[in-house]
Amino acid sequence: MTEPSEVERVAEARTRIIEVTADEAIARRTAGSALFLDVRERHEWNLFRIPGAMLLPIGDIPASAPGTVPRDRDLIVYCGQGNRSVLATDLLRSMGYARAASLSGGVRAWMDAGGELED
């Protein structure tokens, strides 16, 4: 049996997670009610990011999340376009982060909705 493609893995993971729109994410950031978790690579993070976000590249989640990411906060996980964040959110939820949600469309949707960025 062949391995599922990334598109198939993302589609399957999407059935198990919650996604929030950019407008919802902006409102939650304004209210201070969620921690933003950037799962892109450091070179992407260095270009720009959502202010106050925490960097945790997707490949580092299994080893680093338990010691660095709080379980008692709402998490909004994001990447560039919203695919890695779906996979990362699915992984985090499987690790007991029940309050993790993915930013639909990623940081690009955030920018299109007028969300603030820092570099």
Tell me the DSSP string of 15-26.
TTS-EE-HHHHH
Q: What are phi and psi of 102, to 5 degrees?
A: -100, 140
Q: Token pair of 69, please?
A: 């990411």
**79 catalytically annotated:** yes
Domains annotated on the chain, with CATH? 6-112 (3.40.250.10)
Sheet holding 35-38, edge to edge: 19-20, 100-103, 75-78, 35-38, 54-55
pLDDT for 85? 98
Could you read off the pLDDT of 75-115 as tens digits, one per residue? 999 999 999 999 999 999 999 999 999 999 999 999 999 99
pLDDT at residue 19 greater than cutoff 80:
yes
Of 17, 69, 76, 79, catalytic: 79
Q: How far apart are CA 92 and CA 13, in angstroms?
A: 11
